[in-house]
Amino acid sequence: MLNLLIVEDEALIAMMMEDALISRGHRVVGVADTLPSALDLAGAHAIDLALCDVRLANGDSGVEVATRLAQQGIPVVYVSGNCPADAPHPLVIGCVNKPVPVAALHATVLAACRIAKADEPVAVPPALTLYR
């Protein structure tokens, strides 16, 4: 079970991801839709991995959120309709293109966490594009 943060400004997409992850036994510590709310949640909870959209509410940048979270030691996977070409920090592991294949979310967060911890090589789900 992983403690996960969802950073997504579309409420329905965030809810769907939350349901999918909870149904696989994970704990979603919260849903943020802006940079400040993401940092607040990151400050208040121990987070194993953040799933982060690239475009957020109030014009906030998911790349900025990912960078700040990664600087705090939190691995990040982008979930975006337009995956960025590269990662701003080594802990930004990869990207899942929207529409997110729900069945792959569980495998994606597990693989990303293991990659972030430099564990043994893991099978990378096809939905997850790695930056390294």
In the complex, minimum distance from the CB of residue 52 to other proteins, in angstroms, rounded to a whole number:
15
Residues that bind other proteins (CB under 8 A): 10, 12-13, 15-16, 19-20, 55, 80-82, 97-105, 107, 123, 125-127
Query: How far is the C-alpha of 31 from the C-alpha of 53, rounded, in Å?
Result: 11
| Smallest separation (angstroms) from other proteins to the CB of 87 | 19
Among residues 46 and 123, whose Cβ is nearest to other proteins?
123
Are 48 and 75 contacting, i.e. CB atoms less than 8 angstroms apart?
A: yes
User: Which lies closer to other proteins via its Cβ, residue 16 or residue 39?
Assistant: 16
**Closest Cα to residue 127, out of 38, 42, 17, 48?**
17
CB of 43: closest distance to other proteins in angstroms? 28
Contacts of 121 (CB under 8 A, 6+ apart): none
